[in-house]
Structure 1
Amino acid sequence: MSWFSPRGSGPRKEQGRVQVEVEPDVHRSLALAALCEEIRRRKLTVLDLGSAVGSNVEFLSQFGCKLFIEDLYAALSTRMDGDLAGPSFFAELLSVPEDTRFDVILAWDLFDYLQRKELAVFAEHLRRYTNRGALLFALISYHKTIPAQPYRFRIKDDQHLIYERRTGAERPSPRLAPAEVTNLLKEFRVDRSFLLKHGIQEYLLVRE
């Protein structure tokens, strides 16, 4: 498990294009605010599926959270083109003791980077490591395109997220409808959902 990723000092090339530094955006997060209310109540075990971000580790540590970081997109990037992520892929990603149970899962915008079949398989795997009442935080885009790589999200405070774009390249967005989200994430029901002005639907789902 890697906590911090090294950064290069110059622009990087992706598929023949030089990556352009984009000024990060700050957006209010209603679902994060609701999630933080729960985190304050008791010490929780948190699974962060994004890349390791020091400020997020620091923010969650103040509440006494036990934090696991497993970079889903980095793992997806190691696949051969056209390969679908199946049960063995997700088992390797979450190579934790069988009795591990996560109270909170931070999925960020990563579900937009899974095919629908992959998301259904991943949800089944997540159910194995959660009990009833566990919370899942996800952001789904309604734009026609999304960045070719997931955003890097930094928690500014309990009501705001910093969106750091890592590439200027775009890819088609799956544009998951609310009904699809609940159908693919079986045994996770939508507890709260917020459609934000910048075209992102925030979900706070609870394990049934």
Structure 2
Amino acid sequence: MLQQIISPNSVILDLGAFASGTTRAFIKKRCRCYVEDLPLFLSEIKIDDDFCFKEALRQHLVILNDHVEVDILLTWDLFHYLSIEEISILFELIADKLKPGTVIHATRHTSGIIPEQPLLFILKDDFSYQVIQSKSESNISNYSHATIELLQQFKEFNLKETLKHNQSEGKGLVEYTFVHQSESNGSVHFESSIAHGQTGIARSESNESYQSISLPNLTKQLAVFSKSKTHSIIDCGSSRIANIKVLESLANLGIEEDLFAAMTWEKSVAVGQPLHLGNQVFNYRDSVKFDLVLFWDLLCFISETETERLFEKLTSHMDNGALLHMVLPYTDTIGIQPCLFKIEKSCLVKFSSEFSGEVANQPLTTSQISKMFPGFRVQSYYFGTTESGEAYQEFLFQYRKL
């Protein structure tokens, strides 16, 4: 059934285990994938007098920190391991991530025996999957909910299709798909009192306050590219802005790579572990080369070690002469997440709110930045101030392989 519902550029919310490897399969399909690893969450929660399932789940779900609407929600057999109340809480928390047309894919055990832990569904490149019994010392409470009980928890969804088959050494599984139905002329509105996630990222781009920012080096370079439309550009900023449409009109190849969201997700599933950045970022064929990398203000939000690993991967997709663009606030404080930068059709740029925030910042000098990026030299530089009076630096670097 997955083969039928997955299409290129879909946004996937996978509640299953990180170990399933779903991200690799979806990236090959040019999909954007969030893996939330609820099996890990359920196995590690410690219930005491102060435990609040809703708050714990809110802290766990990385997607709550991003403004995105989901095309496919993969729940696998997890409804067996959540009570009806917990399922209701889950859908309350992700309500504004769902839209008319969102498809839920779920599986159900029909053999009468529910495993002690959620199964591990290993997704293959063709979107078929192999089922493996999870190995864990902890047992998780399980339930057998009637389909009508589930539908009552996500009322906007209708059951679309079922498929019964046997997998994993004879264990009977049924696949279900539920489709979000629109009410009132194709639009749907969710009312929710849910607070924003810890990072404070706003839920809706339309709620952002934008002001113009002068980035003459970028505007000039984009205008040059637009004349030939033979170049490739990667935007490492937030995909909430959807600069991709403008970039595709200016270049032969436009790519979005929401770097901050990807790194936030990986950190959430690898607490206490080093950040490997495996296949989650810059995972492209060797033949894909970028002529311009839009890095915006991301340098302020990643460590020196993370920066080194990122640029090892990034430069493998850059030839001599490729360009790297950055915007760095020249302020004593910064926010808790990167600003949003919106490219207009005119190649001018607007950005969200302000650079300043609650986090201390030590502005970097040109010399310091150059030392951080061996092989890059400053091609052009601009020092400006925003409409609200905040100073910033614009850098355009050119890459030369060492």
Q: CA deviation at 1:113?
A: 0.8
Question: Which protein is bigger by CA-based radius of gyration?
Answer: 2
Cα distance in structure 1, aligned partners of 2:346 and 2:399: 22
Deviations 1:86-138 (A, max 9, x none): xx316531111122111111111111111123223322221111000111111
Aligned residues: 206
Counterpart among 57, 65, 68 of residue 5 in structure 1: 68
Matches within 5 A, 1:114-129: 114-129=302-317
Cα distance in structure 2, aligned partners of 1:23 and 1:132: 38
| Structure 2 letter corresponding to 1:154 | K
Cα distance in structure 2, aligned partners of 1:77 and 1:90: 14
Aligned to 2:384: 196
- Greater shift, 148-157 or 128-137, is seen at 148-157
Matches within 5 A, 1:30-45: 30-42=216-228, 43-45=230-232
Matches within 5 A, 1:143-182: 143-158=331-346, 160-165=348-353, 170-182=358-370
Cα distance in structure 2, aligned partners of 1:16 and 1:91: 24
| Identity across matched positions, percent | 20
Name the Cα RMSD after superposition. Answer: 3.1
Q: CA deviation at 1:165?
A: 3.7
**CA, structure 1 residues 148+59, in 2 after alignment: closer, same or farther (shift >3 Å)?**
same
Q: Secondary structure at the match of 1:120?
A: helix
| Structure 2 letter corresponding to 1:5 | V
Greater RCO structure (CA 8 Å; 6+ sep)? 1
Alignment check: 8 A CA contact 2:296 2:326 kept: yes
Alignment check: 8 A CA contact 1:152 1:166 kept: no
Scaled by the length of structure 1, what TM-score is found? Answer: 0.83
Alignment check: 8 A CA contact 1:132 1:207 kept: yes
Identify the structure with the greater strand proportion: 1
**CA, structure 1 residues 167+111, in 2 after alignment: closer, same or farther (shift >3 Å)?**
closer
Structure 1: gaps of 5 or more residues: none
**CA, structure 1 residues 159+143, in 2 after alignment: closer, same or farther (shift >3 Å)?**
same
Q: Secondary structure at the match of 1:89?
A: coil
Alignment check: 8 A CA contact 1:147 1:165 kept: no
Cα distance in structure 2, aligned partners of 1:19 and 1:126: 28
Cα distance in structure 2, aligned partners of 1:54 and 1:177: 29
**CA, structure 1 residues 130+148, in 2 after alignment: closer, same or farther (shift >3 Å)?**
same
Q: Secondary structure at the match of 2:300?
A: helix
Matches within 5 A, 1:76-115: 76-78=263-265, 79-80=267-268, 85=275, 88-89=276-277, 91-115=279-303
Q: CA deviation at 1:207?
A: 0.9
| Structure 1 letter corresponding to 2:247 | L
**CA, structure 1 residues 64+117, in 2 after alignment: closer, same or farther (shift >3 Å)?**
closer
Alignment check: 8 A CA contact 1:26 1:162 kept: yes
| Structure 2 letter corresponding to 1:203 | F
Q: Secondary structure at the match of 1:130?
A: coil
Cα distance in structure 2, aligned partners of 1:91 and 1:178: 31
Q: CA deviation at 1:37?
A: 3.3
Alignment check: 8 A CA contact 1:49 1:72 kept: yes
Cα distance in structure 1, aligned partners of 2:201 and 2:383: 33
Structure 2: gaps of 5 or more residues: 1-30, 34-66, 70-95, 98-189
Scaled by the length of structure 2, what TM-score is found? Answer: 0.46
